[in-house]
Amino acid sequence: MKKLIATALFILGVYAAPAMAEVNAAQAQKFVEDVTNDGIENIINANVSQQEKDKRFATLFNNALDMKFIGQFVLGRYWRTATPEQRDAFIKAYREMNIKTWSKRFDEFKGRNFKFIGTTPSNSANQIFVNSEVPMPEGQPAKVVWRVKKTGDTFKIVDIIIENVSLAITARNEYSAYIKKSPNGVDDLIKDLQQKVADKPAKAA
């Protein structure tokens, strides 16, 4: 459930070189609050078909995340050597896989509301952490920290940290290991993601 909480609104960030920049904390927190409220009211509680819920989730996902920023971080050093075509194909496949995976499970948020408890400055340029908690079936609430980046007047979520575990770093480590052991590197990773979207088992590298 803790992973679901993060990934459904999913995810991930690039850690820029230390350079403090002023980000309006109240505006950043309101952005994340609006994202979570939109998901609860217009997707989970909406009396519409699953197909329509999937469509609304895709819109929410695309509007809330900076996918190019995410893709650059997740591929790490492989982003620098990837061709423009590989970069575009990776971002497309990664986006589609996450939308397909988590839109089907988004109803598991039903009855759960995020409690926002302020913000924390970031050492990365134009970024800030928005802190929240969400009740769990048992035990203490899960701590969910949203890394938000501001570009111009626009806010985007670039990472989500659950109980001190960054989904950005987790994904980067997983994909880097996959690329390293695959004969065709980034192309194999893209193919694997595409196969997951198509519900086809990936062939062994």
pTM: 0.80
Q: Establish if 89 belongs to a structural domain.
A: yes
Write the CATH number for 19: 3.10.450.710
C-alpha span between 87 and 100 (Å, rounded):
20
Q: What's the rounded mean pLDDT across residues 93-115?
A: 80
Looking at residue 200, its pLDDT comes to 52
Lowest mean pLDDT of 22-26, 53-57, 88-92, 108-112, name the range. 108-112
Domain count, the chain: 1
Q: What's the rounded mean pLDDT across residues 96-120?
A: 82
Mention every residue, 6+ apart, whose C-beta is less than 8 A from residue 45.
Answer: 110
Domain range enclosing 164: 2-197
C-alpha span between 140 and 137 (Å, rounded):
9
Looking at residue 12, its pLDDT comes to 37
Q: What is the pLDDT of residues 3-57, one digit of tens each?
A: 555 544 444 334 433 444 589 999 999 999 999 998 888 888 888 888 898 899 8
C-alpha span between 150 and 129 (Å, rounded):
11
Q: What is the pLDDT of residues 135-154, one digit of tens each?
A: 888 889 989 999 999 999 99
Looking at residue 160, its pLDDT comes to 87
Q: Compute, in degrees rounded to 10, the torsion defined by CA atoms 100, 104, 107, 108.
A: -90
Q: Establish if 140 belongs to a structural domain.
A: yes
Q: Establish if 204 belongs to a structural domain.
A: no
C-alpha span between 153 and 83 (Å, rounded):
30
Q: Establish if 144 belongs to a structural domain.
A: yes
C-alpha span between 202 and 161 (Å, rounded):
29
Q: Establish if 166 belongs to a structural domain.
A: yes
